[in-house]
Structure 1
Amino acid sequence: MAALALQFQQRFQALAANMEQVIRGKRETVELALICLFCEGHVLIEDVPGTGKTTLARSLAASIQAELRRVQFTPDLLPSDITGVSIFDQASHSFEFHRGPVFANLVLADEINRASPKTQAALLEVMEERRVTVDAESHPVPRPFMVLATQNPVDMDGTYPLPEAQLDRFLMRVAVGYPDHASEVEVLKGMPTGPQVERLPLIARAADVAGMIDFAARIHVADSIYDYVVAVVGATRRSPEVRLGASPRASLALLRACRVRAAAAGRHYVVPEDVKALAVPVLAHRLLLTAEAELRGRTAMAIVADTLATTPGPQALAGV
């Protein structure tokens, strides 16, 4: 088990280093996106335009053997433009299903909050169940499957807030942010002949990714860690500043992410630090604050951080 964890760590770090050739100075964001991949989860990338949100998704697709399909979300986008549509074939006198762009390994939903709520909801089933139902017939999507959605801040013109049910289906919400001074200088020096997404080498094939996903699911979790995860998630529901806390789906997501983070560190077991490191990106976007908390300028990230500070940690693990 330890040897397999070491192999997982080496490949994980190789993927992160490969993506960093085009996403300069954002190692933490890159690693969070990779954790989502090996959790078979979805990631919501939120930030202002021009910070590299789309490039992050494209560099991930270029680093693994996976089909990437991009959907530009606009106000006139229809649900069938995403899932596909049944068209009548006059030759066979039957309806034939034409698959939409959602039938890919990686689906880049660019500026997802510029489409109407009805169109956003077209992703609800496939994000949770990894299948699409059209005309009462289910169509499975390939494995691995991951939605990488980019989102502009909701206070920008022409945006719609994502429904709570859809936010809950994203395993993480991350922000790219502006690069530091040295990283931005490197970006300028590298253009136009420097590393580009199209030139990134292939690091992992589809079978490698599937094997890493299966291995991460077998990472050991002690009973004390289970209790700690449930305690942290439960505390968000009891906070007086929160009107809707994290759901049981959030507990499952946090545990899956902790397993991948442990494997990425070369461990075959989860430690409390994994929970603490991932609680904010996994839980914060699922919380709805009270009006009073919002007026005071409180954020969901700050509330999750306070929850971690006040929730007693598990006892030191033994025998792992």
Structure 2
Amino acid sequence: MDNIFYSKLKSLRQANHLTQEQLANELNLRYHLNESKATISQFENNKRIPDLDRLINIADYFHISLDFLCCSANKAKDLEEVTNKSFFSHNLRKLREKNNLSQCELSKMLDVSNGAISKWENGQREPDLTTLQKIATYFDVSYDYLLRDRTVLLNSNNIIDENVIMTYDKPGDRIKKLIKKNGLSQKEFVEKFNEKYGYSDSEATISQYVNNKRTPEIDKMVKIANFFNVTLDYIMCRTDIDSDMSIYNKSRQDENKTCLSFSTPQEALSFILKQDMVADFGGYDLDNMSDDEIMEMADDIADMLKIISRKHK
């Protein structure tokens, strides 16, 4: 884990004003463990690395991702930002589809524009608190269901919240899905993985992983997540969201392509007018404007630009 875990654990413990003994007692009480102050000390001094089950307990206790706990700061920050942003988008779309609603039908139910629903589901914008309350009330779900995705989320009575998205996969099932999704055989995966990270695993070893007969150690699990460009939490079944970072990178690439392929000045101006910062500056509401109205505004600005540009020639 590149010596990340021990420093993260100590920082988290201190930030929560816990002694090593208090943290051990908290973990023992909540997860029925038998940890000691000495064990926590070994973790924090990088003399011992916890197994995967214990890592999950620690991540759940501090309400953080495994990626934050085990990965480098930059990667954890990037993954956390993308994944957190995607929770609401993913959950809203799933709720809408589960209730057999189109974006247009849902927009009427919530008294918002059709464009607003599309932007929420694409992660481009988020609703205000009043609208979020409307969504939660309409679908009869909790805020946690809408905004978060944890395999284990306890309510005030330490009972699993029934509104939480649950997963019944095991790590081996996720690895098998990822191998198949990437068009690889187990043999091909072994060869590429060994070449990339310097391992000497056999196909038989990978077969044990994907059939849940054996679980990789945490260092290797982090590398498997890196290999497939997914979060460690996805591999460990702590989230059901397809956390393939390329999905989000693709949307950014698509936006960049749009910026470079305008057929008219009006199209370029229309793209600029659709940016939140420009809309806020101009005092107009994107959610209540159609594409035709924005294009009409772009035409007006193009006419004004012709006049202004004479001065600066």
**TM-score, structure 1 normalization:** 0.21
Larger radius of gyration: 2
Greater fraction strand? 1
Greater fraction helix? 2
**TM-score, structure 2 normalization:** 0.21
The structure, 1 or 2, with the larger RCO (C-alpha pairs under 8 Å, 6+ apart) is 1
